[in-house]
Amino acid sequence: MHSEFFIHPNDAKALKAMKAIPAFGLVTKKLNDIFVERGNKLMNLSSRLKISERQLPEIYNMLPPICAKLEIPVPELYLENNPEVNAYTKGDKTPCIVLTSGLITHCSQDVIRTIMAHECGHIVCHHVLYKTMVGFMMDVGTSMLNLPFVTFALEYAMLYWDRCSEYSADRAAAYVCGGPDPVVKAMMELACGSSTIVDKIDKDEFLRQAKEYKQYSDESKWNKFMMYYNLVDMDHPFLADRASDIVEWCNSKEFLSIDAPGPVVASYTDALPDPTVDVDNGDADIGDTSADADIGADISDNANAPAAAGTAAGAFKKAFAGAKKFAGKGVEKITGASEPVEDDVVEDTGADAVCPNCGGNIKTIDKVCSSCGVKLIHCPNCDAISTEEDHFCDKCGTKLN
């Protein structure tokens, strides 16, 4: 199952903005390989309960059919002693899903299945490496930089993308579960915290509440700012917003065409950058309060979020440009690179080029980046180098896969 079916436009735009941070891809991959992947495996095996056909099979047996539907390998599944109702996916080469005891205790089997489908959605959408690094960087990574402005910019970028990625995973869950109702039910159950109460809740009334939230947040600039203030440190969008978003998508041609023959009807071109606009918005500043760079923009609003992501990318580049000497030394220590990674992608000129994922040096004839391992492809229209995870060419906008 191709991730293109599920990627929310805001997810694509925000990930692109995050990857625009100099050396982000290379540092992310190296940190994951050195620290995160191994540490996570050790924690799972030593401190969590591995769920399998022989251990809590009634939970495990929900997972293989989900993976078959999404056409992904079955990941390892673990149970964590944690009263919080939660689930998360970590890893890169060997992703795993962790369910908390609070989730198993307080949620119905249907909702547990929906949440597991959501987590598998992160895998099929290729979120797992970056979501793993979000958690790592929030815990210990940003303290390595010791630069307040850079740290804020990096945290803002990662948490903003993290929220956007949840919409894509919700879409995958809706596909697995056959429509929006199971996802909406999961949102209601997470909101009320009880599987016994959720059957008494009116779904339509909950969706009207979601509409009321949207209208209230749009009433004034101050309401928008307060909505943003409530979101800024969160790694998930609001439950009501997710419920209304999935209902809207499941009524679209995109959802209805997933199992239909022929090409998917998609609107991912909305997430493409305008070729006439420099993604590094030199006029954008993290403190700019103008209409074009409003940090208080409604980042849960599909129309405003791509602009906010582009503004963030410009601010991040400015922050890292100001600390270029420091960043270069940090990258050298982490990656072993003898020279700082260049900020900008070098166009294919027949000589050496730069990996669009990690910024490492590559040959134009290379099919795989030797630094980060990502597969490389050439645009059939302009021959610019992209990765196999890119849906469109950054240079000319041609659809790649």
Are residues 371 and 321 both part of a single domain? no
Tokens of 203: 């779904």
Q: Above pLDDT 90, what percent of the chain?
A: 29
Residue 140 lies in a domain: yes
Of 299, 330, 361, the residue at which a domain comes to its end is 330
pLDDT band at 129 (very low <50, low <70, confident <90, very high): confident
Q: What angle do CA 274, 278, 282 make, to 5 degrees?
A: 140
Are residues 222 and 361 both part of a single domain? no
User: What is the span of the domain harbouring residue 376?
Assistant: 345-401
Question: For residue 78, what pLDDT is reported?
Answer: 97
181-219: pLDDT as tens digits? 999 999 999 988 877 788 888 889 999 998 998 898 888
Residue 260 lies in a domain: yes
Are residues 350 and 266 both part of a single domain? no
Of 330, 361, 390, the residue at which a domain comes to its end is 330
Which residues on adjacent β-strands are paired with residue 347? none
Whether the full predicted model's pTM is greater than 0.85, yes or no, is no
Which residues on adjacent β-strands are paired with residue 377? 386
Indicate if the pLDDT at residue 105 is higher than 80: yes
Indicate if the pLDDT at residue 63 is higher than 50: yes
Of 280, 295, 330, the residue at which a domain comes to its end is 330
Indicate if the pLDDT at residue 298 is higher than 70: no
361 vs 334 pLDDT, higher one? 361
Residue 77 lies in a domain: yes
Question: For residue 115, what pLDDT is reported?
Answer: 96
Sign (positive or negative) of CA dihedral 246, 251, 252, 255: positive
Q: Report DSSP state, residue 267.
A: -
Instruction: Provide mean pLDDT across the span 75-92.
Output: 92
Indicate if the pLDDT at residue 296 is higher than 50: no
Instruction: Provide mean pLDDT across the span 346-369.
Output: 67
DSSP result, 97-140:
EEEEHHHHHHS-HHHHHHHHHHHHHHHHTT-HHHHHHHHHIIII
pLDDT band at 134 (very low <50, low <70, confident <90, very high): confident
Question: For residue 151, what pLDDT is reported?
Answer: 60
Residue 339 lies in a domain: no
137-173: pLDDT as tens digits? 666 655 555 555 556 667 777 888 889 899 999 999 9
pLDDT band at 335 (very low <50, low <70, confident <90, very high): very low
Are residues 392 and 307 both part of a single domain? no
Are residues 288 and 311 both part of a single domain? yes
Residue 222 lies in a domain: yes
Are residues 178 and 249 both part of a single domain? yes
Are residues 321 and 357 both part of a single domain? no
How many distinct structural domains can be found in the chain?
Answer: 2
Asked which of 9-18, 221-230, 335-344 is least confident by mean pLDDT, the reply is: 335-344
Tokens of 359: 């910024």
Residue 211 lies in a domain: yes
pLDDT band at 253 (very low <50, low <70, confident <90, very high): confident
Are residues 360 and 292 both part of a single domain? no
Are residues 364 and 216 both part of a single domain? no
Are residues 201 and 137 both part of a single domain? yes
Asked which of 204-213, 229-238, 323-332 is least confident by mean pLDDT, the reply is: 323-332
Residue 335 lies in a domain: no
Asked which of 103-112, 248-257, 314-323 is least confident by mean pLDDT, the reply is: 314-323
Are residues 156 and 121 both part of a single domain? yes
Residue 68 C-beta-side C-alpha neighbours within 13 Å: 5
Spatial distance between the Cα atoms of 35 and 140, rounded to a whole number of angstroms: 11
Residue 191 C-beta-side C-alpha neighbours within 13 Å: 21
30-42: pLDDT as tens digits? 777 777 788 888 9
Question: For residue 113, what pLDDT is reported?
Answer: 96
Are residues 287 and 392 both part of a single domain? no
Question: For residue 273, what pLDDT is reported?
Answer: 33
Strands 87-90 and 49-51: unpaired
Spatial distance between the Cα atoms of 157 and 134, rounded to a whole number of angstroms: 10
Indicate if the pLDDT at residue 332 is higher than 60: no
Residue 60 lies in a domain: yes
Instruction: Provide mean pLDDT across the span 21-26.
Output: 71
Spatial distance between the Cα atoms of 218 and 303, rounded to a whole number of angstroms: 12
